[in-house]
Structure 1
Amino acid sequence: MKNWKTATLSLATVALLAACGSTNSNEGSDSSTANNDGNLVVSTFALSEDIIDRDIFQPFKKDKGIELVYEVGNSGERFTKLQNNPNSTIDVIELSQANAATGVEEGLFETLDETKVPNLANLVDGAMDAVATSGAPYTMNSIGIIYNEEAAGMEINEWSDLWDPSLAGKISIPDITTTFGPAMLHVASDFKGVDITTDDGAAAFEALNELKPNITKTYTKSSDLANLFQSGEIVAAVVGDFAYPIISGANPDVEYLVPESGTYANFNTLNVAVSSENKELAYEFINWKLSQELQTTTAASLNEAPTNKDVELDDEVAENKTYGDIAQRAKAIDYTFVNTNLEQWISQWNQTLNQ
C-alpha cells in the first residue's frame, strides 16, 4: 500500500500517532519504484500532518523553490522498509533514537557532515552526544519522577529515594521493552555508582533486585499510570515528561520532578540515506529542522522540546518539556550499546522482576 504524499496536497490531520500510529494511503510515489525527479523525499512520523506541512515543509519548499514528497508511519515500520529496500528514493528519514542507532551501525546513513549542518553546533550538550551514534536530534524528551507526596508520606527529590523501604509495594517503573526501559537501567546502574557501559548492566540488575520490593508493577503504557495513581496502587512512578499532563489531569495531587543529579534523554533524529540522490538538499533540510526559528515554532505547534540551545520559550510553552536547565543536564544514551545488549537484558529483566 502506498504511503507517499506530496506536500502540495491538502492534508488531513492524523493526531498522536508518532511512535505507534498506522500509515495512510494517498496519491504519490512508492519508494521502491519511483524516480523522485529532483524532489526532496522525506520519511517522517504520522503526526499532525497539516501542522507539519504548514510550519515545516511549506516554508522550506518556498525558500528552496522545490517540491517535497513524504512518507508517513511509525518509526519501526518505516525503518524496516528502508532496511529492506536498497533502491529506496528516501533522502531524509526521521526515526526514534533506537532505530536510528541501528541504521547508523548498519551503514544505511551518511556520516553527518557538520560543515553542511552548521546548526549542529547549536545543540544542547546531551543532543550533541547523540549525533555520532544516532544522527541529528531535532526533539527530545526525558524521564523524571511523578509522585503524590501526601500518599507517599515523604518528599522525593532524587532517584535514590525510590529505593527507600517506606515505598514498599508503592511504585511503578517502565518495562524494559518501552522507550524508557533502557533509561531505567541506566538510573539503576547510577544508583550503584557504576557506569553501565563498563559491566553491561550487571550492577543495574543488582540495583533492580534491591528495588523489587518497592515495585508493585512495571508498565508498558504510561497512560496506565493515571489509573494506578487514582486507585491508590502506586504513589510514585518513573515516567517520560510527555506523560505528565495525562496523569496529572486525572490526578491533580501528583507532581513531577527531574532530580538535580540529572536525567536521561530520548531523541527523535534525522539522517541522510546513503542512497539519496539529493544529499545537499537533504543536509539543508536537516539544518532547517535544527534551526532556532523553526524549533521555536514547533515547540508550540507540535509540542516538540527543542534541541537547539538558543531557543527561548515562555513558561507556558516550556511546561513539561525537556528544556532549559533540564535539557542541559539530560544525558544521551548510547543506543548502539543498548541494542547490542537488549536481548539479554530483556531475558534478565523478566527473570529479575517478573518471577
Structure 2
Amino acid sequence: MLRRTLAAGVALCAFTAPALAADDKLVISVYGFGQDAFKEIVYDPFEKICGCELVVETGNSVERLAKLEARKDDPEIDMAVMSTHDALSAARKGITQSIDVTKLSNFDKLYDIAKDPLGDHLGIGYTFYATSIAYRADKVKIESWSDLFQDDLKGRVAFPNVTTNQGPPALYMLGKAMGDDAPSLSAPIAEVGANKDDILTFYVRSSQVAQLMQQEEILAAPIGRFAWGAYPKMDMNIAWATPKEGQTGGMNVMILTKGAKHEDLAYQFMDYWLSTEIQTKLAEALVDSPANADVKVSDEVAENLTYGEETVKNLHLLPPAVILDNRETWLAEWNDKVGQ
C-alpha cells in the first residue's frame, strides 16, 4: 500500500473542480503493475490538484475483489480498476454502482467500446490491449491462429494457461480459425489437447514467455500487447502477427463502489485519469494504451501500444458475461483435455 499526503491549499489547475478540504482522502484499488510511473504521472499531480490524501492499494485481482466484497456494506475503497469480467462479477455481487457519466467531462472523448462495456455504466474503460502472436519471423510464418500448430513449431511454442487473462481470448481466436467460435471453447480446447505434446509450456506469466523467447527455446506464443515492449529489445527478428482472423484482447475499467465515502473526489480522479493529457503521458511511458481517442503519439510509441481507431475497431473482445459465465466450464474442459 502506498500512502502519500500533500498539504492543503495547493493551487488548483483550471481543469478540475474546486479543491477539497485537506482532511479528505480518496482510496483506490489498482493493479501492482507500473506503480512508479502511475505515481509520477497520475497520483502525485492529482494530489496537488485536489489538496487531498490519495491512498493507493495494490494487489492481484482475486485479493482486491475479495476485499471489496468483504467490505461492501461499509466500503473502505472508493473506486477501483479491474478487468471487465472482474468488474461485472463485482457488480453482480452488489459491490458497485452505476457511474454518472455526465460528471465526466472526458467521457465523450473515449472510444465507443470503452464507454459502456458492462452495460448500465457499471464500468468505464480506461485502457485496453490487443492479444496476438509474437513470433520469430526469420524462422516461421504466422498468418492464422491455427499456424501455432504447424510442423515448424512443434515443441517450440508456448500457450497461455486457461486460467490466465490471455488464455480464453487466445482459445477464442483459435476457435475462429477452426470455424467454431462457440462460447464453450470446446473445439479449441480439444485442439490444444490434441497438440499438447508439441507445446513446450502452458505459461501463467508473460515474463516466462519473454525469457523463453530470449533463450530461443520457443519461436512463437500468444501474448498481450502490454508485454510487447520487451521483444523489440531482443537481438532477434521478432514480429507481431496480424492473423487473418484478427486480434483479440482485453479491457480494464474503472468502477465506483456502492456507498463510496468520497464519491465526488472519485469522479474528479476518474475524469483526470481519462483526460487527454494524462492518457497521453501514460501512453508515452508505455504504461497503458489510451482509451481516449484524442490521444496522439509518435509512430515509435504507437508500435508498442494498442493504438488507433482502426486497431480498436478490429479487436475481437470476449464479452465479460461470456467469460464470467463460462470460466468454470472452461477450466473443467481444460483439465479434462489438456491437464496440468
- TM-score normalised according to structure 2 size: 0.82
1:354 paired with 2:318, answer no
1:242·1:320 contact (CA, 8 Å) conserved in 2?
yes
- Given candidates 24, 30, 34, the residue that maps to 1:44 is 30
1:245 aligns with 2:229: yes
Separation in 1, partners of 2:6, 2:286: 20
Conservation of the 8 A alpha-carbon contact between 1:100 and 1:135: yes
Counterpart among 314, 327, 331 of residue 312 in structure 2? 327
Provide the rounded CA distance (Å) in 2 between the counterparts of 1:122 and 1:203.
Answer: 39
Q: How many Å separate the matches in 2 of 1:299 and 1:318?
A: 8
Match for residue 279 of structure 1?
263
Q: Who is 1:120 aligned against? A: 107
Q: Is the 8 A contact 1:135 1:269 kept in 2?
A: yes
Over 3 Å counting, the alpha-carbon distance change for 1:270 and 1:207 in structure 2 is: same
Root mean square deviation of aligned Cα: 2.8
Can you list the C-alpha shifts for 1:124-152, whole angstroms capped at 9, x where unaligned? 24434624387112122221111113322
Partner of residue 188 from structure 1, selected from 158, 170, 174: 174
Measured after TM superposition, the shift of residue 229 of structure 1 is: 3.3
For residue 177 of structure 1, the aligned residue among 144, 163, 169 is: 163
- Tell me, which stretches of 5 or more residues in structure 1 are unaligned? 10-35
Unaligned runs of 5+ in 2: 8-21
> What is the one-letter code of the residue matched to 2:299?
D
Tell me if the contact between 1:169 and 1:213 (Cα under 8 Å) persists in the aligned partners: yes
Q: Distance in 1 between matches of 2:33 and 2:224?
A: 19
- In 2, distance between residues paired with 1:125 and 1:313? 20
Stretch of structure 1 that moved more, 285-294 or 212-221: 212-221
Distance 1:59 1:170, change over 3 A: closer
Task: State how 1:202-221 maps to structure 2 within 5 Å.
Answer: 202-209=186-193, 211-212=195-196, 214-221=198-205
State the Cα distance separating 1:55 from its structure 2 match.
2.4
Aligned residue number for residue 322 of structure 2? 337
Aligned position for 1:265: 249
Of 247-256 and 143-152, deviating more is: 247-256
Change (3 A) 1:262 1:310: farther
Shift of 1:243: 2.5
Cα deviations by residue, 1:72-118 (Å, 9 ceiling, x for unpaired): 21132222211111312321112233432211221211112222234
Partner of 2:139 in structure 1? 151
1:266 is displaced (CA, Å) by: 1.9
Which of 161, 165, 185 in structure 1 is aligned with 2:147?
161
Q: Which amino acid aligns with 1:225?
A: V
Q: Tell me, what secondary structure is at the counterpart of 1:87?
A: coil
* Alignment equivalent of 2:87, drawn from 67, 84, 100: 100
Q: TM-score, normalised by structure 1?
A: 0.79
Q: 1:107 to 1:50 in 2, by over 3 A?
A: same
| Corresponding pairs, count | 322
Asked whether 1:90 is paired with 2:77, we answer: yes
Cα drift, residue 173 of structure 1:
1.1
Say whether the 8 Å CA contact 1:126–1:332 is kept in structure 2. Answer: no
CA distance in 2, matches of 1:209, 1:351: 9
Cα pair 1:75 1:96 within 8 Å, conserved: no
1:202: Cα distance to partner? 2.6
The amino acid of 1:142's aligned partner reads: A
CA distance in 2, matches of 1:81, 1:260: 42
